[in-house]
């Protein structure tokens, strides 16, 4: 029991460190001018699968906190204010700050929860048959990435519609199509990459310790 707790603590710390390193180096974000494409959700997804949803949610919180700090102190994109309550407050006041905190943390925390339940449900559906591990890891990776993309971009559309449209230079009437273009152009490739990396790393980790049940 002590050994398992130590393993969980070390793996949690390792994933958290990877998230922080990726957040503040070119490895984690790919700047696209309007918004950053990211692969930082992958350690969160793996944490959810191998440490359970509680630790996964914690890693999602670390992801959200890192994105908030990066947007606040580094910036770099037209939509940085969406992820920084301090910048959002300057545009929309206190309500903007609250909305920014929601977008920063809620989707990222759920990235640490959703893949766990998707994986468990998928393996039960396949009755733990041959290939269920690999396919389950791929599906969980894709589900985690899409959770981040859909909730973040959806949150932007619902809560920052006018400010975001002004920032990126499109009309409010065409903003939905614009956001769907980002989801298709960035979110789908991110999801496919997450699926590939999750199954590649997950199979290695599984040999050391099975996925949390």
- For 15-60, give the DSSP string: HHHHHHHHHTSTTTEEE-SSSEEE-THHHHHHHHHHH-HHHHHHHH
What predicted TM-score, i.e. pTM, was given to this entire model?
Answer: 0.90
Give the total number of structural domains in the chain: 1
Q: How does pLDDT run across 59-82, given as a tens digit for each residue? A: 999 999 999 999 999 877 788 899
Give domain status of residue 213, yes or no: no
For residue 20, tell me if it sits in a domain. Answer: yes
> C-alpha angle with apex 6: 124 to 12, nearest 5 degrees?
65
Residue 196 lies inside a defined structural domain of this protein: yes
Query: Is 202 within the bounds of a domain?
Result: yes
**Residue 76: CATH number of its domain:** 1.10.1760.20
Q: Which domain holds residue 186?
A: 2-208
Query: Residues 142-194: pLDDT tens digits?
Result: 999 999 999 999 999 999 999 999 998 999 999 999 999 989 888 888 899 89
| Any domain includes 145 | yes
Closest CA to 63 of 103, 24, 20: 20
Sign of CA dihedral 87, 90, 92, 94: positive
Q: Dmax over Cα atoms in the chain, in whole Å?
A: 57
Report the percentage of the chain scoring pLDDT > 90: 67
């Amino acid at each position: 029991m002590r050994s398992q707790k130590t393993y969980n603590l070390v793996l949690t710390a390792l994933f958290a460190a990877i998230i922080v390193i990726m957040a503040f180096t070119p490895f984690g974000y790919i700047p696209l001018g309007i918004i950053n494409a990211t692969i930082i959700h992958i350690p969160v997804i793996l944490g959810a699968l191998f440490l359970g949803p509680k630790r996964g949610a914690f890693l999602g919180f670390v992801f959200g906190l890192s994105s908030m700090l990066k947007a606040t102190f580094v910036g770099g994109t037209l939509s940085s204010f969406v992820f920084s309550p301090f910048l959002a407050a300057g545009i929309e006041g206190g309500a903007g700050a609250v909305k920014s905190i929601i977008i920063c943390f809620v989707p990222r925390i759920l990235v640490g929860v959703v893949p766990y339940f998707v994986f468990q449900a998928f393996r039960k559906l396949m009755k733990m048959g041959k290939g269920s591990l690999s396919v389950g890891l791929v599906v969980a990776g894709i589900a985690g990435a899409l959770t981040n993309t859909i909730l973040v971009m959806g949150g932007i559309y619902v809560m920052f519609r006018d400010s975001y449209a002004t920032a990126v230079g499109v009309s409010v009437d065409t903003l939905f199509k614009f956001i769907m273009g980002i989801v298709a152009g960035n979110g789908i490739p991110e999801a496919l990459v997450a699926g590939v990396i999750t199954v590649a790393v997950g199979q290695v980790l599984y040999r050391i310790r099975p996925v949390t049940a």
